[in-house]
Structure 1
Amino acid sequence: MAERAARIDAFLARAGWADASRVPLAGDASARSYMRLTRDGDRAILMDAPPATCGPQTAFFQIGDRLSQAGLSVPACLARDDDLGLFLLEDLGDLVLARLIAHEPQHELSLYAAATDALVHLQRNVGIDGLPRYGPDEMATAIRPAWQFHVGGGEPSRRWLDLEDHLRALLHAHDAGPVAVHRDYHAENLLWLPDRVGIKRLGMLDFQDAVAGHPAYDLASLLQDARRDLAPGIEDDMIRRFVRAVGGTEDRFRAAYALQAIQRHLRILGIFSRLAAQRGKPGYLALMPRVWRDLQRDLAHPVAAPLKPLIRDLVPPPQGAA
C-alpha cells in the first residue's frame, strides 16, 4: 500500500497535480478505484487500475476515442502511465442520471429520452471494426456464470446445456446486423452535462467492454436496470422512441428485446453471485430480486416459451425475490 501510494504521488507530481486535494469516489464492480482531485478550482479524476489486478486499460482509451470522434461525451485523458495503471481523467461532474432522478424525479422521462437518443447516435456513428463479436453464439455461452455461481457450479448439466442451445437458437432467429454496444449502458454510467449542447449533454462512463452486438442489448440494459426501477410507462415510451428512430416493426423488436434482456439477466445473476461470494461485495445480492422480477416479465413474452420451463426448473429465485 505504501509503495502504491508513493507511485501515485510521483505520478501526480509529474502531471502537475501534486498539491491537489484528494477525495475517494465509489468504485465499480472491477478492481479499479477512483479519486477526485481538486486544485485551484480545477478538478480531475485519478483512475487507479493496477495492471496486475485490472489488466491493461488499452480498450478504455481506444473505445473512448471512438465515442469522442463520434461526437459523444466521454472523459478526456489528461495524463497516463500505462505501466503503472495510473490515469488522470477529465472530471465530468456528479450529475449521474440515477442520482439526479432521485433528487429531481420530474426529469426522469426527459433524461431517459436523452439517453435513448444518445444510444441511437452511438449505433449510427460508432463503427464495429475491431470490436469483439457478441452475437448469439457468444451470448449463449456467456450465461454460464449463472450455472457456476448462482445455481451451484460444477460441470453444466445436460439440461443447462439444453438451455444454452435453446437460447442460442432463439437469438439467431431474432438476430440483427451488429452495431457498437456499450454493454453496461445504465443510469449509473451516464451523466448529465447541462453546460454542453445536443448529444454532448449526455456523458458516458465504463465503456471499455464495448462489443459488436444486437441493437436491442443496450436499450434493455438501460430500461431494465438492475439498480433502479423506472417510473411506469417510461420503458414502453423509450422502446417506441427507439424503434421510430432506427426503423423496423415494434413487435419484432420487442421479441428481440425480450431475448436480449433474458440473456443479460441470467448472466447478471451469475456475476452478482460471484461478486458477493468471491469479491466480498454482498451489496449486489440486494439487487438480484429486481433482476429476477424483470427476468420473469421477459419470460412472459411468447418468444421465450421454449426457455421458460428450463429456467423455471434450473434457476432458483434469489433470496428475497417475490
Structure 2
Amino acid sequence: MASHQLRDLPTPFLSLLLKDESDTRQLAEDLAAILKPGDLLCLSGDLGAGKSTFSRALIRNIAGDPDLEVPSPTFTLVQPYDLPRLPLAHFDLYRLEEPEELEELGLEENLEDSAALIEWPEMAEDLLPKSALWLQFRHGGDEGTRQVEFYSEDPVWGNRIFATLEVRRFLKTALNAGQIKRQHLAGDASLRTFEKIVVGDEHLVLMRWPFSDATLPENIRSYMDKVHLAKDCRAVAAIGGELRKIGLRAPAIKRADFDKGLVLSEFLGSETIVIDGKPVAERYFAAVDVLAAMHARKFPETVDLDTGETYQVPAYSADALVSEANLLLDWYLPEKTGTEASDQTRAEFEALWRGLLDGISEAQSGWVLRDFHSPNLLWQVGASGTDRIGLIDFQDTVIGPVAYDVVSLLLDARTDINPELENALFDAYLQKRKGLGQEVDPEAFKQAYVVMGAQRISKILGIFVRLARRDNKPAYLGHLPRMEGYLDRVMTAPILSDLKDWYQRHIG
C-alpha cells in the first residue's frame, strides 16, 4: 500500500485553530453552506485528527438531519448520499491499492452533478482535480485542540472560504452566543442565498446578498437595470419596514450589514399557502385580503432608512415591462421552435406590447411586490386577519399596475389554480376593496389584469427556460405546461386578440 504522505501543496491560504469538537462541527457547517455541485473537499491528517467528525457534521448538515447515520466508507471506499439539496459522495481511500483504482470508483462522474468528500486523498497521488480544496487536520498543542490548514490551486476557494467565515463572525457579533447553528434554507431563483439560524430555541433567517454591480457580468447587470431589480439589501429593509408600518407581516430585521450584504431577520416558518403542492382555498382568500389592504394604501416613492440613507422605489416603466416580456423571445421561443427571433419579429412583438400597456395606462398604480405567489406567502398558524400571511421576497418592489400582483397570486406559477378558484378569488378581491371604501371598476380592472397576466406569463416562460438551460436547473421545465395553460386562459380576452394571433403565428 502506498505511503500516507500529503502531496506537495502550495502554501496554505488559511490556518484555523479548533478548540474542540464543537468548533470542528461549526467549521463543517460553514463549508456546507457554500458547497455546490462539482466541489471536491480533500481531508488529510492522522487518525483521530478530526476528519471523521468533520465529515459526519458536513453530511448531516447538507442532509438537514442531525441524526443521519453516516457510516465510514473505509471498506466500501465510497458512500453516496442522494440528498435533495445537494447529492454528495463520501470517499475513503485508505485501502486503495493503486491510485488508478480511483477511476473505477466514479469520482469524475460524481462531480458532474454532485459534490464529493475524500478522506485519505493522498492515496490518489496526483490523480485528483487541481481545483480541489484540501484541508490538512493536525493535533493542536493543547489536548483536544486541532489545527486545520486550507490549500488549493484554485484561488476562488480562498474567496469562498473567507466569505462564509465572515458570515460566522457576523452571526457571533449579532447574536452574542456560543452555539449558533447554520442550516441551508430553500431560496428563490436569484443569486441570493438563505440560511436558517438556530440559537437555542430561537430561529432566524440569514439572507446573504453576495453580489454587487462590480461582481455581476455585464449582461446580467444590464438586464437588472432595465427591469429595476434591487441592487443591494437596503431594499429589503426599506420595503419590509413600510409593510410592517401598515400592519402587514413582513419579517422584522434583527441585524444587518448592508455593505457586506447580510440581513438577519425574523423566521416566519416554512409552511406556505399550498399543501402537498395543491392550493388551499382558505389561504388564498387570506392572501387576497393582504393584497386588498396593500392596494387601499398609498406607499411612498422614497423610504427613509434607519441608517440615515434613503431608498427610491423604482417605477415599473413600460420599458421594464417590455424588457421582461422579451425574455419569451430570448429563451422560450428558441426552446419551442428551434429558431431565434428575427429583428422583425422582435419589433412586432414590442409594438404589440407597447400598445397594450398604453391601453391600461390609467389603471391603478401602486407598490407591486412582483412575486406575490405561494413560495413567498408563509401561512401563520393561529393568526387572524392579514397576520395569517407572512410576506417574503419583496426586495424588487416597484411602482406599477397593482393588477400585476393579483395575477401573481391568482395565476400562481408554482401550483395549479383552476378557473373556478381564480374567478372566486378575483371577485373576492373586488369585494374586499369595496369593503375598504374603494369601488373598483370590474371591467377596467379585468383589462389590466389580463394584460398583466399575459406579460407575467410571457416573462416567466422565458425565465423558466433560462433557469433550465443557462443555470442548469432542468426542474423548471416541469412548470412550463402550467404557464402555457394560464396563457391560453388569459388570451381569450378580446383586448389580447392581436397578441394571441402573434403567439399562434410565431410559437404555435
**Alpha carbons of 1:190 and 1:220: their partners in 2 closer, same or farther (altered >3 Å)?**
same
Query: Is contact 1:147–1:156 with CA below 8 Å preserved after alignment?
Result: no
What letter corresponds to residue 139 of structure 1 in structure 2?
A: L
In terms of fraction of residues, the more strand-rich structure is 2
> Which range moves more in the overlay, 192-201 or 213-222?
192-201
Determine if contact 1:128/1:212 at 8 Å carries over to the other structure.
Answer: no
The match for 1:35 among 195, 200, 221 is: 195
Contact 2:196 / 2:206 at 8 angstroms: preserved in 1?
A: yes
CA shift for structure 1 position 126 = 4.6
Q: Does residue 68 of the first structure (1) align with residue 244 of the second (2)?
A: yes
Q: How does 1:47-58 map to 2 (within 5 A)?
A: 47-52=207-212, 55-58=231-234
Structure 1 residue 188: Cα displacement: 1.0
Quote how far apart the aligned CAs of 1:91 are. Answer: 0.5
Deviations 1:184-216, CA, capped at 9 Å, x for gaps: 000110012234442222110100111111121
Whether the 8 Å CA contact 2:191–2:209 is kept in 1: the answer is yes
Q: Given the alignment of the two structures, is residue 133 of structure 1 paired with residue 315 of structure 2, yes or no?
A: yes
> In structure 2, what is the Cα distance between the partners aligned to 1:151 and 1:279?
18
Q: Structure 2: give runs of 5+ residues left out of the alignment.
A: 1-159, 217-230, 302-311
Q: TM-score, normalised by structure 1?
A: 0.89
Pick one of 356, 374, 393 that aligns with 1:170: 356
User: What is the aligned partner in structure 2 of residue 160 from structure 1?
Assistant: 346
Partner of 1:220: 407
Deviations 1:125-181 (A, max 9, x none): 251514222244432332111111222486752233222212221222123131111
**Separation in 2 of the partners of 1:18 and 1:275?**
39
Q: Which residue, 325, 334, 337 being the options, matches 1:143?
A: 325
Contact kept? 1:113, 1:238, Cα under 8 Å: yes
Equivalents in 2 of 1:162, 1:312: separation in Å?
14
Match of 1:260 in 2: 452
Q: Say which is worse superposed, 220-229 or 78-87, in terms of deviation.
A: 78-87
TM-score, normalised via structure 2 length? 0.58
Task: Count matched residues.
Answer: 312
| SS in structure 2 at match of 1:132 | coil
**Deviation, structure 1 residue 80:** 1.4
- 1:247 aligns to what? 439
Residue aligning to 1:278: 470
Mapped partners of 2:348, 2:178: distance in 1: 57
- Does 2:372 match 1:185? yes
- Number of the residue aligned with 1:78: 254
Structure 1's 18 and 143: CA in aligned 2 closer, same or farther, altered over 3 A?
Answer: farther
The correspondence for 2:293, drawn from 99, 107, 121, is 121
Work out which structure has the larger RCO, using CA pairs closer than 8 Å and 6 or more positions apart in sequence: 1
Residue equivalent to 1:287: 479
Structure 2 Cα separation of the partners of residues 216 and 81 of structure 1: 34
Please give the alpha-carbon distance, in whole angstroms, between the structure 1 residues aligned to 2:320 and 2:172: 44
The letter for the 2-side match of 1:29 is A
Please tell me whether Structure 1 or Structure 2 has the larger radius of gyration of its CA atoms.
2
- Displacement after TM superposition at 1:261 (Å): 0.4
> Take 1:141 and 1:34, find their aligned partners in 2: how far apart are those partners?
28
2:183 is equivalent to residue 11 of structure 1: no
Rounded to whole Å, the distance in 1 between the matches of 2:322 and 2:181 is 46
SS at match of 1:226: coil
1:247 CA drift (Å):
2.4
Cα distance in 1, alignment partners of residues 290 and 356 from structure 2: 28
3-state DSSP of counterpart to 1:300: coil
How far the C-alpha of 1:294 sits from its partner, in A, is 0.6
- Partner residue of 1:207? 394
The amino acid that maps onto 1:102 is: D
Q: CA deviation at 1:120?
A: 0.9
**Following TM superposition, by how much is the alpha carbon of 1:46 offset from its aligned partner in structure 2, in angstroms?**
1.4
Spell out, residue by residue over 1:113-132, the C-alpha distance to the aligned partner (whole angstroms, 9 max, x if none). 11011001112225151422
Partners of 1:297 and 1:49 in 2: CA distance: 37
Q: What is the aligned partner in structure 1 of residue 88 from structure 2?
A: none
- What CA distance in whole angstroms lies between the structure 2 residues aligned with 1:45 and 1:18? 18
1:87 counterpart = 2:263: yes
Pairing partner for 1:23 from 159, 177, 183: 183
- The amino acid of 2:193's aligned partner reads S
> How far does the alpha carbon of each residue in 1:34-56 deviate from its partner, in whole angstroms, 9 at most, with x for none?
11122221111111221346842
Residues 204 and 266 in structure 2, CA contact (< 8 A), matched pair in contact too: yes
8 Å CA contact 1:97–1:191 kept in 2: the answer is yes
How far 1:266 moved relative to its partner?
0.8
Secondary structure, aligned partner of 2:450: helix
Distance in 1 of aligned mates of 2:242 and 2:257: 21
Extract unaligned runs of 5+ from structure 1.
Answer: 317-322
Larger deviation, residues 213-222 vs 170-179: 170-179
Aligned to 1:314: 506
